[in-house]
Structure 1
């Protein structure tokens, strides 16, 4: 729900970031938990990192690793790896699954592969995020088909502390206004949890391309009129800072168990 009228300082640095399909698979109106690994990769060693990751994915496929892994990448070297979780209790099962994989391929072999991948990594951080369909706009008929989506935008929004309830109420106002104006492009909302600098929310949007997204945004804001401008001002009053990113989902660096 990016407003091009927001001050440049508030928008922050625009960098490429892939979509987060693992965090939004399914629209059953239930919050969905994901564990996100943020790997900052040395840009001179991207090929090395991706080759190692593909070898790891081969082992996940061969040995039936039980957790899905969706990967996105940014133009500033970040790779976001999304593991879908049913609950926080799944973390123990996740650790156990890695230990079992090590036994299947050999503990030293897994450690060697891990060292090979991490040799190209500058830093890594794990965070929990929760997809919140109750504060997301999900039109009955989207403008784009899933196979047409090639471009994503992620707006990380840090709030003034203590304003979370107001922000979620404003999100619902955006949903109502979007429905009233018959908008056909969704915005998906996630909430940062353990490991994240809170309070932080995330808006996810997408398009066919950067040009397609920009055209859709221009049409959206034009249709919102004075109501949208007033609601945008109300929203900005709750925001401490934003970091806007764009990019792509990487199906070639992702994995889904066959039984899922």
Structure 2
């Protein structure tokens, strides 16, 4: 029985790997759920860590985002699951000695929970006519809409997402968005809609103008998604270039 379970798990993992490799860009996300009272201390340590990464020319990269409920996301592009076995911090930890461990001990004092998982950028469902760069200069503000669904409704939700994209396309909407979906390490199925803007006012202005562009019948199309999701969550936040990192180009 143990052999059967192991074989089944391996088959499922290989199937998931195949699906992801055929599909879109994968990102490893490390999430820190920071206590509100420790945000200032956390930011201080995060900037110290970035400075150390620059000093040691750490051979990895990440984009950083922070949400309005004090979650910090460190987002690293990966090619496949084999990238998860890499140890990019090993040389830096050896060079820094005890100071490396002290930094992470100080991080641990700032949050009650943290973890790592994978998300997938779904280019098929994203509406980005001018290209799908992960970072847009001057557009660091974000609105994130999480739409959770049960496995039985997965096909219907995807069909609805396609219908929404077609609506935006047919109306010539300039309110672009990216779609991400859950990957390995997530217990729930969801699509996340990410919308960029200069700031909160710019985002609200664009959203209001987009309502006029799409027209009053837009809800008929939106309902093709809404009636099949189990719940929806909305967050705002921003990309944090000051906490992001990339190694020096040789």
With the shorter chain as reference, the TM-score category is 0.7 to 0.9
Deviation at 1:30, TM superposition (A): 6.0
Between the aligned partners of 1:76 and 1:141, the Cα distance in structure 2 is: 30
So what's the TM-score if we normalise by structure 1?
Answer: 0.81
Between the aligned partners of 1:246 and 1:66, the Cα distance in structure 2 is: 30
Between the aligned partners of 2:113 and 2:68, the Cα distance in structure 1 is: 16
Between the aligned partners of 1:132 and 1:226, the Cα distance in structure 2 is: 27
Deviation at 1:147, TM superposition (A): 2.9
Aligned length: 227
Aligned to 1:110: 100
Aligned to 2:36: 43
- Computed over aligned residues only, the root mean square deviation of the Cα atoms, in angstroms, reads 2.1
Aligned to 2:226: 236
Q: Which runs of 5+ in 1 are unaligned?
A: 1-28
Between the aligned partners of 1:239 and 1:259, the Cα distance in structure 2 is: 44
Q: Which has the higher contact order (CA 8 A, sep 6+)?
A: 1
Residue pairs, 1:90-105, within 5 angstroms: 90-93=83-86, 96-105=87-96
Aligned to 1:190: 180
So what's the TM-score if we normalise by structure 2?
Answer: 0.84
CA separation of 1:141/1:101 partners in 2, compared to 1, >3 Å: closer, same or farther?
Answer: closer
Match 2:191 to one of 195, 201, 204: 201
Range 41-50 or range 239-248, more displaced:
41-50
Match 1:157 to one of 132, 147, 152: 147
Contact 1:34 1:82 in 2 (8 A): yes
Deviation at 1:73, TM superposition (A): 1.4
Q: Which runs of 5+ in 2 are unaligned?
A: 1-21
Q: SS in structure 1 opposite 2:152?
A: coil
Larger Rg: 2
Aligned to 1:89: 82
Range 245-254 or range 57-66, more displaced:
57-66
